Structure 1
Amino acid sequence: MKFNRLIALLFGVSSPLYALDQTTLNWLSQNLDVNYTLLDSKPSTCPKAQQKCYYSELSFSVATENTKANQDFAIFFSQLMPIYHVEGDTFTITHINGDIHKITPTSKFTGFSSTPTTVRFYTKDSQITRSEFMPNYVVTDAQLQLTPQIILSTQPQLDNDTGLELQPYLMPFDTLNQLQTSSKDKTPWMGSEYLHQHQVRPTLDAATGLIPKPKQLTVLSDKRLNLAAGINLQLSGVSADAIAMAQQRLNTLGVKSTKDGLKVNVAVKPNKQSSPHYHLTVAENNISIQANNSAAAFYGLQSLAGLLDISDLSIPMVEIVDAPRYDFRGLHVDVARNFRSKAFILQTIEQMAAYKLNKLHLHLADDEGWRLAIDGLDELTSVGAYRCFDLTETRCLLPQLGAGNDKNSHINGFYSAADYIEILRYANAHHIEVLPSLDMPGHSRAAIIAMEARYKKLMAQGKQADAEQYRLIEPADQTRYRSIQHYNDNTLNVCIKNTYTFIDKVLSEVKALHDRAGVPLQTYHIGADETAGAWLQSPACKKLRSSVKDFTSFNGYFIERIAKLLDKKGIQVAGWSDGLSDVRAANMPAKVQSNAWATLSENGHAVAHRFANQGWQVVLSSPDVTYFDFPYQSHPQERGNHWASRAIESKKIFEFMPDNLPAHAEIWTNTNNHTYVANDGDSSLNQGVKFFGVQGHLWSEMLRSDTQAQYMLYPRLLALAERAWHHAEWELPYQAGRIYNQSSGYFTAKLKAQREADWQRFVAILGFQEIPKLAQANIAFRIPTVAATTLHLGKLDAFTAIPGFVIEAQKADGQWLPFSPSLRTVRVLRAREPITGRVGRAMPLQQSYSPLESLTLRPTKAR
């Protein structure tokens, strides 16, 4: 009786004005089945004379038949690319802000039933990888009086075998019209057959060495030294604290520090060289490390850990002379879009240090979240660190990026002062510098909304002066703009006094946290990117423009002013290259760090060269090779973004030649898999100019858990460390003025052969020596997919690009067996990591390059 009454309430009310009650709304959230289908990524025609569009469908159904409908509901969902045209007259879809859209029924809506009710629509921009289709749709009443609920069918699930995320609301992708962005896009479907044809098969069972590769390594004996009895460190010229974390890593790997252990002599003797240099000798019953500073001694011990085979605790007898390629060997971690736990950051610091990376760029604030507690500005975290369903944004920010309605979700949160101090000290103990970033003036929506909440609270208390002190908007500014992430209110007004009062307060508090930690703030990254369209109708900006001599741009004015503020505090300024393009170098401090992030296939080399030529510290941040939020392979089941690269495998990062950016036109293609030309004729590096370093980037828009973040980070982090630390002999030397394309021929067959031999060394160490260490540390690294094909006489051939994994085959009856070339009726292949037993993504055995994967396992709806 109660169930029938609910159905009558929901569907059987004659008046369309009837308001839902909470019980009915809850029922709807539990029983409404939502399916999203990307119908066509390259339609032949687009509505409203749009040259390019993407065609999709949402369908809704319930298991119960009905004849009448309630029209009082609204569904809110995240759609990364705004919808510009809706077909039919059953539903209206409205873009709210950012990626938030609202679906409401019209008077033509006839009710939900077991027959799906659909709405089809078009977007102007591409949304092509499955992870770009966000979960957690929210249903509520039209008047927003009830407690909103997440629609159960739109919640993500975890695969029982792999632990990877499933999206039961998103229909399968099985055609190239769901992989390619246009008719010009030649992105391949990287199934098992494609991988077999294009991936390099590992050939070595083992290799002597470590990651990153040292400058010089000499094998002294074919014998190995066993460290099972432990080691006894003998220190000279270096404190125990300076090498404690390297010693702790050895302990964790099984090499204990004991009084009766093998003596390891660690001696530091400073010399004129400022960058770390060390000399490691492993001989029979004799290990010594000579270093020029404490960081070098630390790296020498990390190399000892790197040489270790954890299966028997032995190391090869070698002599190593080593020093880093770049002073800046960094990793950028975005904790703003989706929060990363403190435990994740601490573990990431450990792994960075293990592979000799030394800069952690923490992206602590953006449009979707503010993640650092600032004394005296509580709203930055009490409001700005959370996303939930509150359209007034007095409790939290809008639920962008599929956040849902749970403030306790792990995508939300912040670091307290104590947390941040702990992170700083832990990084410092690992010889890693933390570069904080609170992105401004664009990407500042979390700060703006939080300070508006503060303003309203204090105004209600009658404290007008206090309320206005840190307010970040100008009420008279009528500018209409849309950021690249489709926000209309995410940019600080750079022309009002409050903005600089706020920034000075924040910078002072961040500096104070570093001082309390005993780790002085050396470099601060202001962001300063993507501010197009703001301030055009601001009265304050019109006044500023007329009063500033030699005015160039508002963004340039802002950056120059903040750079001077930082300089007065003794802090070096850093920023993204597009924002720094707006400044006048003469108005900037002598030392400036520029992260050059233009894609190489779109003249990215020219951007990096220009900043380096003006004497700035250029950190290479090329998205097409250093952005770890892009997929490993162009396949719908691989997580990631798509705008700069469709596939970034560890091998691509390994192949990076950072000192010769234009040369990649010979070996890589652009985002649409077309060849391109890199002309260095009018953008050459000046003689003697060098880059400052290389940085990897883990952006988090599509990473809703620490596990997903680890999947994207490892093992690519090790390839990044290889290129940041070691200059390979096969890298093509830079020569100014050359024009590169895929037929220019500068990268010779000899260099290619050297590179492939070096890759075989690297991947053998990765698979047999380092993957087991990552497994022991409980890191959810990506397990490679299986490359496979059917040979003559029906025999199968299969391998993984990284060795050391067990390949398994699924028979037609669903049974998993160890792979054998003689198996028949094989449906699907996967790899298993032997230490933990974790399995990777299963991939159907294909007979051709066809993308159709009808055997792909599809999630079952949860109820």
Structure 2
Amino acid sequence: MNKHAVSLMFFVGAFYSVDAQQLKPAYNPNELKIQWKMIENGYMGQGKYLSSFTLNNASKNGLPAKGWSIYFNLPRGIDTSFVRNEFKFEHINGDLNRIMPTALFKGLKTGQSIELQMLASDWSLNRADAPSGLYLVWDDEPQTGIALANYQVVASTELKQINRAKIDIAPIATPEVVYNRNKVIEDIPANKLIKVFPTPINYSESEGSFVLTSTVTISADPAFSNEANYLAKELGVVLGKQPTISSVKGNIELRKAEMGAEAYTLSVSRNGIIITASTPAGAFYGIQSLKTLMPAAAWNGTQKLVAVPLVEVKDEPRFGWRAFMLDVARNFQTKEEVLKTLDWLALYKINVFHFHCTEDEGWRIEIPGLPELTEIGGKRGHKNANVEQLPPSFASGPDNSTAGSGFYSKADFIEILKYANERHIKVIPEIESPGHARAAVQSMQVRYDRLMKQGKKAEAEKYLLRELNDKSVHSSVQGWNDNVMDVSLPSTYTFVEKVVDGLIAIYKEAGVPLETIHMGGDEVPSGSWEKSPAFAKLKQENPLVKNTNDLWYYYYGKVNEIIKSKGLYLYGWEEAGMRKTMLDGAAHVIPNPDFANQNVHLDVWNNVIGWGAEDLAYRLANAGYKVVLSPVSNLYFDMSYDKDFEEEGYYWGGFVDVDKPYSFIPFDYLKNTKQDKMGNTLSSSFTQGKERLTDFGKTNIIGIQGLLFAETITSAERMEYMLMPKLLGLAERAWAKDPEWSTEKDEAKSNELYAKAWSDFVNRIGKRELPRLSYYKGGLKYRIPTAGAIVENGSVKANVQLPGFVIRYTTNGTEPTSSSKLYTEPVATKGTIKLRVFDARGRGGRTVEVQNK
């Protein structure tokens, strides 16, 4: 959800003449070296940034003066009205653009370089803002895109390149800044840490252990037979042999007793292990706690024995809705990666998997009867874009072999559903509508064109999502001008019902219950439908529809009827529960009374500090909507970890490291909201006029959700980097009770309690959970933090955010490796000191360097 609207212009420097007869086949595009760098934000006092491309012809042949274009993706919109003589620029759609030479361009001789300066509105901060997915197309081969691999992004290092504007005082994550943040963290001995994660309600530990070996047996109440089988498989991975499940008393017992729906007790004594629960879900969570009791290295190959500490645990969750949303539409993740993700979620007791499967840039679930959705909407590439596939987006390039392409067959999706269900995770599919729907709109257009050629007009129009004569002009925040379903068309609702019925049938075949389908609802651009003949017709027929604002309520009213008729409840983004009105002559939005108190669930995401909707979640909950707290400020995992050029990710809602989900206070999150997204301290009057959560409203906060949108997630490794350790902060806040620091009214005491709790938390994840995830289910490539470092009294002092991780360093200019010298005390050596953090397996994070003069 990139919220920027941006303009672009290029300035072209001097060019040299090339033989006009130079033939295209003699030129190898990969011998064209392209470099991009930032120059400065706030160019000439404007809300714009200046950057530049440098093109260097490294070929023995000249770059032709004409007959080619360079395509690229940019998370900004181009101002095509600004044209320089030698080149012109065109915005294709979405984030896809191209550069074309004009008749004034004379080409480039061997060894010559030119600079193309780019002026764009807003700002550019990290590597994710750079142009990406570059490819060249020859005019005489318009369906062939040639990826330009010889492309380099130059890292920004100067303040004017990284500070977004004069008001941006958020500190750049230099080693010194990181060091000072980490100073409050105490190193707590491992034996003093709670060994169950997330934090249980009651925990006590005594000396000694129970030893698991391949001879252990499991017994279970018949109600927990599935959980017993699951536990046997998990222990089989560790011990090399699955324990026997017996009807007689085993070393591990799963007992049934009356308690809360997801509650459990866990008792580990020298005689064995007893997990007690009233439901299979409770027994399952007791098993997950048992797994986190085990040493991290237990998952590193087959073990002869595993010592489990003696504990007494009594536990149940704070929220019944503990969710994670994964966007696989903008960039795809394989079925295997999704299954691994479900295992990670299950380990930390996350019980809702919000599956963001459709977007402008992709449709990822096969729907029987609508093959075009995945045949067209499931892949991206240059050739016959919009006919055979969607166009390139988010660096997906000219072919369809990248993360831009892929979908789950019905069989794949059934496997995912069953896998999640075995782990007590609800999978909620999302069908984005009516905006963010270009993949569906375009796929149904291809279906229409195919059937019309066959003379099947009625069948062609059955699922059409676009009024063919609509002259409305709009542009979404992502740059699309044709991504909205026409909600005036009856065929739109035929399509929605077809998809809903298809999903219901898939869940039924999987034997998995379905309670809701997320129907989207966010970011429909202004201008949509205004000149649609279908809208004009509907206005004549329906007196309740007077303007395009009314179409919003008309659409969700009809969708709500469809959903409820199937025995489901409506779920959507916050906008699905909002109504536009006027206040003192200005546009204003309020909770829509039409759907209040009807069990309509909303993900409320927009609490960007300074945008004015910081209290929206509480307003909607107080108005009668079931709210899932999904705030960008704390729980959008696609936000960059820090203000650092190398920390790829968006930042329009702020920076989100593991501290942001950990420090989130669900029922009073404005309490510790101290700064805006630019790092400026908020005034004491900031919360004046903001709506607080009432006791009634609290009953409507059903849970919290972490979200990972995928604009910048182009691989499984990148997904895992952005996911962990942020997910651990979410898990703690969703499951554990209110921490003492969150309810303490004295600010100084609250800060003191928070610092102590934060130290405990990072010690637990640094010494137990992340080391476990290095091995669990094949290992997870979580983010390893950068070292903090400072020069003090002639020596370099270093520290780390996660105690348990080690710092290694070099003094000779080389990159530190897992065998480099271990940092144990300040380094007095003069010159360049390079430092790097390593995990238990020897995997390193990014290197930082300090000059000790």
The answer as to 2:757 corresponding to 1:758 is yes
Partner of 1:227: 212
Shift in CA distance, 44/243, structure 1 to aligned 2, threshold 3 Å: farther
The answer as to 2:415 corresponding to 1:422 is yes
Please report the TM-score for the alignment, with normalisation by the length of structure 1. Answer: 0.88
Partner of 2:843: 838
Q: By how many angstroms is 1:246 displaced?
A: 4.3
| CA deviations over 1:581-612 (Å, ceiling 9, x no partner) | 13743356721111111125245442111111
Which of 591, 594, 606 is the equivalent residue of 1:586? 594
The answer as to 2:740 corresponding to 1:730 is yes
Partner of 1:783: 784
Partner of 2:172: 189
Moved over 6 A (4+): 65-68
| CA deviations over 1:242-268 (Å, ceiling 9, x no partner) | 353344334434485434997112112
Partner of 1:796: 796
Identity of aligned residues (%): 30
Partner of 1:116: 113
The answer as to 2:717 corresponding to 1:716 is no
In the alignment, the residues of structure 2 paired with residue 71 and residue 786 of structure 1 have an alpha-carbon distance, to the nearest angstrom, of 50
Q: Is this contact kept in 2: 1:14–1:68, CA < 8 A?
A: no
The answer as to 2:109 corresponding to 1:103 is no
In the alignment, the residues of structure 2 paired with residue 789 and residue 773 of structure 1 have an alpha-carbon distance, to the nearest angstrom, of 31
RMSD: 2.4
Where structure 1 has 5 or more consecutive residues not aligned to the other structure, the ranges are 1-9, 47-51, 155-168, 735-745, 849-863
Q: By how many angstroms is 1:68 displaced?
A: 8.3
Q: How does 1:613-762 map to 2 (within 5 A)?
A: 613-645=622-654, 647-666=655-674, 668-675=675-682, 678-679=686-687, 681=689, 683-690=691-698, 691-733=701-743, 746-762=745-761
In the alignment, the residues of structure 2 paired with residue 649 and residue 45 of structure 1 have an alpha-carbon distance, to the nearest angstrom, of 31
Q: Secondary structure at the match of 1:400?
A: coil
Partner of 2:477: 484
Shift in CA distance, 460/392, structure 1 to aligned 2, threshold 3 Å: farther
Q: Is this contact kept in 2: 1:192–1:846, CA < 8 A?
A: no
Partner of 1:239: 224
Q: Which moved more, 1:693-702 or 1:468-477?
A: 468-477
Partner of 1:157: none
Q: Secondary structure at the match of 1:636?
A: coil
Opposite residue 849 of structure 2, the aligned amino acid is P
The answer as to 2:155 corresponding to 1:152 is no
Partner of 1:738: none
Partner of 2:58: 63
Opposite residue 786 of structure 2, the aligned amino acid is T
Partner of 2:314: 321
Which of 71, 74, 83 is the equivalent residue of 1:79? 74
Which of 810, 819, 836 is the equivalent residue of 2:822? 819
Partner of 1:92: 88
Shift in CA distance, 815/45, structure 1 to aligned 2, threshold 3 Å: closer
Opposite residue 700 of structure 1, the aligned amino acid is A
Shift in CA distance, 182/605, structure 1 to aligned 2, threshold 3 Å: closer
Q: By how many angstroms is 1:228 displaced?
A: 4.0
Which of 557, 560, 564 is the equivalent residue of 2:557? 560
Q: Which moved more, 1:537-546 or 1:182-191?
A: 537-546
Q: Is this contact kept in 1: 2:297–2:775, CA < 8 A?
A: no
Q: Is this contact kept in 2: 1:644–1:671, CA < 8 A?
A: no
Please report the TM-score for the alignment, with normalisation by the length of structure 2. Answer: 0.89
Q: Secondary structure at the match of 2:649?
A: coil
Shift in CA distance, 669/61, structure 1 to aligned 2, threshold 3 Å: same
| CA deviations over 1:64-104 (Å, ceiling 9, x no partner) | 47788431111111111012275742221111111111101
Q: Secondary structure at the match of 2:642?
A: coil
Q: Secondary structure at the match of 2:672?
A: helix
Which of 147, 166, 172 is the equivalent residue of 2:155? 172
Q: By how many angstroms is 1:826 displaced?
A: 4.0
Q: Which moved more, 1:701-710 or 1:553-562?
A: 553-562
Partner of 1:204: 188
Q: Secondary structure at the match of 1:136?
A: strand
In the alignment, the residues of structure 2 paired with residue 254 and residue 637 of structure 1 have an alpha-carbon distance, to the nearest angstrom, of 41
Shift in CA distance, 170/300, structure 1 to aligned 2, threshold 3 Å: same
In the alignment, the residues of structure 1 paired with residue 241 and residue 749 of structure 2 have an alpha-carbon distance, to the nearest angstrom, of 44
Which of 607, 617, 630 is the equivalent residue of 2:616? 607
In the alignment, the residues of structure 2 paired with residue 557 and residue 789 of structure 1 have an alpha-carbon distance, to the nearest angstrom, of 60
Partner of 1:14: 20
In the alignment, the residues of structure 2 paired with residue 674 and residue 106 of structure 1 have an alpha-carbon distance, to the nearest angstrom, of 50
Opposite residue 188 of structure 2, the aligned amino acid is L
Shift in CA distance, 57/426, structure 1 to aligned 2, threshold 3 Å: same
Q: By how many angstroms is 1:731 displaced?
A: 4.1
Q: Is this contact kept in 2: 1:712–1:782, CA < 8 A?
A: yes
Shift in CA distance, 787/377, structure 1 to aligned 2, threshold 3 Å: same
Q: Secondary structure at the match of 2:742?
A: coil
Which of 453, 466, 470 is the equivalent residue of 1:473? 466
| CA deviations over 1:705-753 (Å, ceiling 9, x no partner) | 011000000111111100000123324349xxxxxxxxxxx45222222
Matched residue pairs, number?
A: 796
Opposite residue 290 of structure 1, the aligned amino acid is T
| CA deviations over 1:407-437 (Å, ceiling 9, x no partner) | 1223310000000000000000000000100
In the alignment, the residues of structure 2 paired with residue 384 and residue 149 of structure 1 have an alpha-carbon distance, to the nearest angstrom, of 22
Q: By how many angstroms is 1:460 displaced?
A: 1.8
Q: Is this contact kept in 1: 2:410–2:506, CA < 8 A?
A: yes
In the alignment, the residues of structure 2 paired with residue 87 and residue 747 of structure 1 have an alpha-carbon distance, to the nearest angstrom, of 59
Q: Secondary structure at the match of 1:553?
A: helix
Q: By how many angstroms is 1:216 displaced?
A: 1.0
In the alignment, the residues of structure 1 paired with residue 284 and residue 294 of structure 2 have an alpha-carbon distance, to the nearest angstrom, of 16
Partner of 1:289: 275
In the alignment, the residues of structure 2 paired with residue 124 and residue 847 of structure 1 have an alpha-carbon distance, to the nearest angstrom, of 39
Q: Is this contact kept in 1: 2:786–2:845, CA < 8 A?
A: yes
Shift in CA distance, 201/68, structure 1 to aligned 2, threshold 3 Å: closer
Q: By how many angstroms is 1:448 displaced?
A: 0.9
Q: Which moved more, 1:695-704 or 1:177-186?
A: 177-186
The answer as to 2:241 corresponding to 1:249 is no
Where structure 2 has 5 or more consecutive residues not aligned to the other structure, the ranges are 1-15, 299-305, 580-590
Q: Is this contact kept in 1: 2:330–2:359, CA < 8 A?
A: yes
